[in-house]
């Protein structure tokens, strides 16, 4: 147990109590009542009723501690439950976005026009960029889509970027992997900064 502003509280709440505004407000009200009991106990000593008043004051102080501990635990539990719900929501959004991005890649990989474009070295890049714009307008959240040839050459893209060939290790890794996909997070020479 720890002492917080004259009240005995659970050690687990000691560092949290000052951040619990509702509990703090109750502590102030109960503290004023405790001060009244302290005054009555002093008056009781003058009249000979000190033993009764002292016992009542101590019982009130114990009840105050019990109440504030309970309020503190409930406030903490409510905050933890709220944070868990928010965290789960953030994780759900992340997972949903990952599944949507995986579906986007699968859709683009199965696109006959896109595959034919890769096979035809004379194909119009602007037509493919327009196809990417249409795709993004209907289904996606991407700011850029980059279509690579096997040699790392950039055959088409949605965004504006001067690079025509990437030397980033991600391209070689994607071509050489036996895995279903390759993940990468960070800057890359074929992406605009930011």
Q: How far is Cα 25 from Cα 6, in angstroms, rounded to an integer? A: 15
DSSP 3-state assignment of 131? helix
Q: How far is Cα 105 from Cα 139, in angstroms, rounded to an integer? A: 12
Give me the half-sphere count of Cα atoms (radius 13 Å) on the Cβ side of residue 133: 8
Q: How far is Cα 58 from Cα 188, in angstroms, rounded to an integer? A: 69
Per-residue pLDDT tens listing for the chain (194 residues): 888 787 788 888 888 888 888 888 888 888 888 888 778 777 777 776 666 777 777 888 888 889 989 999 999 999 999 999 999 999 998 888 888 877 888 888 888 999 999 999 888 888 999 999 988 888 767 888 899 988 889 999 998 889 999 999 999 999 899 998 888 888 999 988 86
**pTM exceeds 0.75 for this model:** no
CB 156 within 8 A of CB 128: yes
CB 40 within 8 A of CB 57: yes
Distances (CA, A) of 139 to 25, 91, 117, 126, 147: 51, 21, 21, 20, 17
Q: How far is Cα 90 from Cα 178, in angstroms, rounded to an integer? A: 31
Interaxial angle between packed helices 50-109 and 125-139, expressed in degrees from 0 to 180 and rounded to the nearest 10: 150
pLDDT digits (tens, 9 = 90+) for 81-109: 999 999 999 999 888 888 887 788 888 88
For residue 153, the cross-strand partners are: 165
Give me the half-sphere count of Cα atoms (radius 13 Å) on the Cβ side of residue 44: 15
Residues 6 or more apart whose CB falls under 8 angstroms from that of 179 comprise none
DSSP 3-state assignment of 14? helix
């Amino acid at each position: 147990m720890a002492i917080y502003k004259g009240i005995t509280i659970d050690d687990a709440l000691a560092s949290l109590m000052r951040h619990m505004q509702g509990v703090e407000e109750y502590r102030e009200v109960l503290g004023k009542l405790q001060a009244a009991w302290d005054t009555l106990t002093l008056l009781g000593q003058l009249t000979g009723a000190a033993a009764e008043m002292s016992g009542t004051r101590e019982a009130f102080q114990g009840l105050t501690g019990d109440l504030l501990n309970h309020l503190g635990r409930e406030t903490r539990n409510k905050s933890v439950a709220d944070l868990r719900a928010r965290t789960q929501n953030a994780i759900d959004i992340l997972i949903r976005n990952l599944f949507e991005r995986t579906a986007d890649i699968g859709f683009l990989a199965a696109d006959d026009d896109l595959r034919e474009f890769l096979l035809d070295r004379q194909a119009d890049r602007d037509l493919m960029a327009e196809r990417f714009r249409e795709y993004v307008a209907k289904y996606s959240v991407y700011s850029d889509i980059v279509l690579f040839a096997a040699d790392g050459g950039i055959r088409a893209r949605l965004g504006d970027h001067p690079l025509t060939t990437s030397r980033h290790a991600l391209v070689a890794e994607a071509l050489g992997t036996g895995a279903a996909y390759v993940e990468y997070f960070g800057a890359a020479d074929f992406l605009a900064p930011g």
